[in-house]
Structure 1
Amino acid sequence: MFAWLKGPGKAFRKPLPGSSNYLSAYDRQGNLIRKGREERDDRGRFADLGEDEVLKETEDRDGLPKEGARDLKPYPLNAQFKSQPVLSEDLRRAINELVTENGIDLKAVSAAFGIDVRRVAAVVRLMEVEKAWEQEGKPLAKAYNDAVLAMLPTTPYRPSNPPAHEPINDLPVHPWTRQQIFLPTSESRVFTRADAAKTFHPSLLPADERIAHPELVQIAKWEHEGFDRETRQRLMREKDSESVARKEMKEYKRKQWERRTQVTVPGRRWDFKFQDISAEKVNKDGRGHEAVGIRYGMPHEDRKKGQFKIPTKVE
């Protein structure tokens, strides 16, 4: 152990600033692998690198190549695990300032920085808790926070050209799409995403509208149609204002409905809400979405014995 500490392990006593400094980034002699790549020719330099590593090899401020995919593997025996970047301190503060002080919508901030809207909301909540603790005089673990950020790859804050932190348009798997359906259709028919959604459920939205940021798809369509950047921004602002108006109207109607149908009885610790339920809303199959107990769900009968779901004719 002491021989390793005096030999290859010396590189980990004083880690490189701005680098994760994982074991996989060094060879057995303690030499930084990506530093030695500069001495190879172009053919030998990229011979043993994957596509992701070649794309990520750019120079940083210290003259060393930027960390690639191989340098972000903290466990040498688990080559499939890669350390994912976290939000930098400057980016977290910028997000909180845009939301709390400038009044920017969470979805707009999420789309601008390429950060999941749930992560944006969590950042705002945690920053508010941090400010409350500072006002109350509670100590903050700043040293621990700085040490952790120094060991992990971070997404920097660049206002002019912000890098995307994570995929924000991943499509969540809806429970209605987990059932097995055989739908016969004509070969000449154009079967779209909207048709697939209606097959699973009449009220299920297509994939283009169920993603977290459907407006990004619309912006890409406008760009493909030849609209310039100013026109796209103007159209998007109009759609955003319409969306906000619809959301406010929907919330207003919901509150009016609760005021008409619910009775609130205040208690010492909780307020109890009572609402009239009609037994006729369970529908003929007993699975009405307004029925009591619908939250518990009912399993699909896809694999149940005696269920023949393969169609024999086309309607």
Structure 2
Amino acid sequence: MFGRDIGIDLGTANVLIYVKGKGIVLNEPSVVAVETSTNRVLAVGDEAFRMVGRTPGNIVAVRPLKDGVIANFELTESMLKHFLNKMKVKSAFSKPRILICCPTNITSVEQKAIRQAAEKSGGKDVYLEEEPKVAAIGAGMDIFQPSGNMVVDIGGGTTDVAVLSMGDIVTASSIKVAGDRMDSEILNYVKKEYKLLIGERTAENIKKEVATVFPDARYEEIDIRGRDMVSGLPRTITVNSKEIQEALAEAVSYIVQASKQVLEQTPPELSADIIDRGVILTGGGALLHGIDQLLSEELRVPVLVAEDPMDCVAKGTGIILENLDRMSSKKVRI
């Protein structure tokens, strides 16, 4: 097979890969299982995720990306290589062109790390695009008109907020508060209130099953199991939506604040457009119960959750890939 154009949503929590002509072909957790004594990679993606919190001492399940940027270069490269080999997008005769997404305010050093990881894992030409712009395109927003569009992309490691017009970002903010931070807030709440130790996966499950961030929007309970900090023995407790709302209040306030800040810096004509069109929520965090109601109340504009919010960035890379030749001026080489 000849090299294809591929788009990568290199997320802190998940990696999604879009292959031109095929659509989204891969959606797996950004996790690598490593043997500590030899640094040998044992598993990647879904297989490695199943090991999180359940491995013996000589094996660790690592997330090579933190806060939207590469924390471990070698493991990121191994992970990308594994996924590209799995997709069979490379051939002996040609390499794929890769479009990869990154948060808005990362440094040139962090950008270079992402580029090098993509090139070393088998990319020919590597293009970088800012995540909120790609997410807006994937959510079906027409950002190429002279009118204001606002997107809030809540991922695993970062929340990117941007106002777009004429195909580019007018004002933007990126904060390192998103899904992972919410999981750790839940984990800490349970530890503090119930003296119970739980794992990341349990915390994420609580967030999905019972969490809400809007007062009285939901009341559900869930039984969770963990290790009692006093006796050291397993114990089961019940937590409810109201408790989790309290636990998430601080993290969510940062997202609200970042959104307000971007709106305050937006030119008045574009602000008027946003009142008409509303704000679009993308990313896994858009599925958090009540986040749309909370943002709508705080920002005083309509807030809508995109269709398939977790796939928006990957879909956006697909749309850009279809028009990649027109965007050759954006090509980034080392």
TM-score, normalised via structure 2 length: 0.22
Higher strand share: 2
Larger radius of gyration: 1
